[in-house]
Each structure stands twice: as C-alpha cells, then as structure tokens.
C-alpha cells in the first residue's frame, strides 16, 4: 500500500489560514503556527466586537441626543419620557441623526413632546 503524503489537503488548510492572516505584522502573516494563533485571536475579537459595536453606537446616540436636548432646555431622560407619553416612536438612532443634521426638526420634536 502506498504512503499518503497529505500534501494537497494540508497545504490547502495552511494556505487558507495564511490568506486570512494577510496584512498582519511580522511572522504573524508568514509562519503557519503564529498565523494560526493570530487568526484565531482575531476571530475572537471580531465576534466580541460585533456585539460591542451595538453598545458603542447606542452610547454615542444617547450622548448626542442629550447634548441637543440640553440646548432645547430639557434633559435626556425627561425627553425620552415625554416622547413615550406623546406616542412618538422615534428610536435613538433617528433622534441622534436629527439632532446632528437637522436641529430645527429636533427642536420641533422636543416641542411636540413637551406639549403632550
């Protein structure tokens, strides 16, 4: 029985890892063992940070809404409470976009929320 050299399959697996490690610094993009560790770690960071990105953006939107709300003489929490009572269903992403790109419309939203 002839021996199996495993050339094709093993090389294909290694090349897949090295391709994923392209752009990493030093041996992390050249040597299979260090590249394999680096790719695994990068995957873990990517998985974790896909979730963290959602938190970070929500925090950013809240900061922007709060700043714009205070310019209109109301705090963030009171604004959100007023919006809920007035049945205005704008999420934080939209409110933050209004606050940055269209302050007049944001002021109108605050006004309507305050009246309710």
Residue-wise pLDDT for 1-32, tens only, equals 888 777 888 899 999 999 999 999 999 999 99
**Which of 48, 49, 20, 50 has the alpha carbon at shortest distance from 34?**
20
Confidence of residue 76 (pLDDT cuts 50, 70, 90): very high
pTM of the model: 0.80
DSSP string, 70-111: HHTT--HHHHHHHHHHTT----HHHHHHHHHH-HHHHHHHHH
Q: What is the CA radius of gyration of the chain?
A: 26
Percentage of residues of the chain with pLDDT beyond 70: 100
Predicted pLDDT at 3:
83
């Amino acid at each position: 029985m002839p021996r199996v050299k495993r050339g094709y399959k093993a090389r294909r697996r290694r090349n897949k890892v090295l391709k994923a490690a392209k752009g990493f610094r030093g041996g992390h993009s050249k040597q299979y063992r260090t590249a394999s560790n680096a790719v695994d770690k990068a995957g873990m960071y990517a998985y974790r940070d896909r979730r963290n990105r959602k938190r970070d953006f929500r925090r950013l939107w809240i900061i922007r809404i709060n700043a714009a709300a205070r310019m209109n003489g109301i705090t963030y929490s009171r604004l959100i409470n007023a919006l809920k009572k007035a049945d205005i269903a704008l999420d934080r992403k939209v409110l933050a976009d209004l606050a940055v790109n269209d302050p007049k419309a944001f002021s109108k939203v605050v006004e309507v929320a305050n009246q309710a």
